[in-house]
Amino acid sequence: MGKCIFCGIVNGGVDCKIVYEDEKVTAFKDINPAARVHVLIIPREHIEGIKQAHGKDPGLIGHIMRAAADIAEEENITNTGYRVLVNSGPDAGQAINHLHFHLLGGEKLKAI
């Protein structure tokens, strides 16, 4: 695992703007936002990527999606819409090898 910045956030060793936390996930504002609202949602346990999530807690991905919906509500973007996405591997743009979901919204996003 080495020095994972996201594990540092979970353990309180890296300062950031945490917006949601529970027993399974931590969510915080992205320091380089791609939209007006850009929150990263990560499992508290170090899991390298979506492929490695297979065989772990079977409800984890659903739990992350529920957290995303709760955060969207808190950020007042539920009615206008939001996007939740995960990058898997370097070709997809995964820059940090700790599973993370991007919650984007608060403005009109380009269709993909």
**In terms of C-beta density within 10 A (0-12 exposed, 13-18 middle, 19 or more buried), how is residue 108 classed?**
exposed
Cα(87)–Cα(93) distance, rounded to whole angstroms? Answer: 6
- Is 100 catalytic? The answer is yes
> Residues 38, 46, 54, 100: which is the catalytic one?
100
**How far is 74 from 59, CA to CA, in rounded Å?**
23
For the annotated catalytic residues, the residue numbers are 100
